[in-house]
Amino acid sequence: MSRSASAGRRYHHGQLREALLDAAAQLLEQQGTQFSLREVARQAGVSHAAPYHHFEDKHQLLEALAERCMKAFSQAQAAAQASTPRARLIGLGTAYIEYAAAHPNAFQLIFNPELCRPGQTSVLTPYIQADHALLAEVLARAIQAGDLPGHAPEALGTALWGTVHGLAHLVLLGQLNLRDVPAVLDSLFTPASAAPAPVH
């Protein structure tokens, strides 16, 4: 009996789907999205036809894999607790960038425009909405606490997201050290009047 046949019989319907996603996650970490459904089946130890019981094609598998990655990404941000709104903002940004550094291929996958086009709904939409709601909530508290006076929350949220996303790419490119990220983020919330005067 072949390994794929015996392995396939061990999986119940839902277990097979999760096993295929586990295999795809391993391949994603190793080589990005440049893998085939046949390779996923081989990694999972099942027949080449097994993935088609759950996924019509590779795109559908990538959507499911992106949903799994996005869930982990969102959980990492939600877990960033702190005693003040300002510290929570820094924690959110740091968690965002740390996930990108630890899982660069997963980070690229969840921001793949082919999987979630602007203005369209996808399996990622609930997580994106939850992340935006979390940021808006923390921003509102920071503004109320006087950490970010005189700023429109919506515009500030977009600016912060763009900045943090850019910093994540700098880390991935090796242009910014991950350990310096909290200090960089902290500087975003330091008023110019509070910054130390330049030394002449």
- Distance in angstroms (rounded) separating the CA atoms of residues 109 and 31: 12
With 0-12 CB in 10 A as exposed, 13-18 as middle and 19+ as buried, what is 178?
middle
Instruction: List Cβ neighbours of 105 (8 Å cut-off, separation of 6 or more).
Output: 28, 29, 31, 32, 33
Helix axis angle, 37-44 to 13-31, nearest 10°:
110
Q: What is the pLDDT of residue 193?
A: 44
In the chain, the domains with their CATH numbers are: 1-55 (no CATH), 58-190 (1.10.357.10)
Q: What is the per-residue pLDDT across 136-172, written as a single tens digit (0 to 9) for each? A: 999 999 999 888 877 788 899 999 999 999 999 999 9
Locus of tokens 């983020």: 185
pLDDT at 13: 56
H/E stretch holding 178: none
Closest C-alpha among 186, 184, 95, 116 to residue 147: 186
Q: Tell me, what DSSP letter sits at residue 195?
A: S
**pLDDT < 50 stretches in the chain:** 1-8, 193-198, 200
* pLDDT recorded at residue 117: 79
Residue type for position 191: P
Chain segment 46-67, per-residue pLDDT in tens: 999 999 999 999 999 999 999 9
Residue 149 CB neighbours (<10 A): 9
Q: What is the DSSP letter of 93?
A: H
pLDDT at 191: 61
Whether residue 93 contacts residue 164, with contact meaning beta carbons closer than 8 Å, is answered with yes
